[in-house]
Amino acid sequence: AAFISIQAFPALLDLPQELEVSAVSCGSRHTAAVTRGGELYTWGWGKYGQLGHGNNISCDQARRVELLVAKGLRVEEVVCGPWTTYVRV
């Protein structure tokens, strides 16, 4: 089982320098960020597939949701629920 740290205070997040974040949403144990370019990055607890990476793996590092890129979809908005992530494209 992967260890995912849960932080009670804000922490710095490493994203590639060319990315500018336009929106962020937090679920109970996961987070999602939308870039100005319309890409979605997610991280945290992924037991129910809420990170959108096609698996149930948790991740401490922000990862781009490749399925949306592959389909040519531009993310406009994201809202995280307790164990879900809703994306408007």
Does pTM top 0.85 for this prediction? yes
Task: Quote the distance between the C-alpha of residue 31 and its chain's center.
Answer: 5
Q: Where in the sequence is the domain holding 40, given as residue range(s)?
A: 21-88
Residue 4 lies in a domain: no
Q: What is the mean pLDDT of residues 35-45?
A: 95
Task: Quote the distance between the C-alpha of residue 75 and its chain's center.
Answer: 12
Check residues 43 and 7 and name the one with the higher pLDDT. 43
What does the pLDDT look like over 44-64, one tens digit per residue? 999 999 999 999 999 888 999
In this predicted structure, what is the pLDDT of residue 53?
A: 97
Residue 65 lies in a domain: yes
In this predicted structure, what is the pLDDT of residue 77?
A: 97
Give me the number of domains the chain comprises.
Answer: 1
Residue 35 lies in a domain: yes
What does the pLDDT look like over 24-37, one tens digit per residue? 999 988 999 999 99
Residue 84 lies in a domain: yes
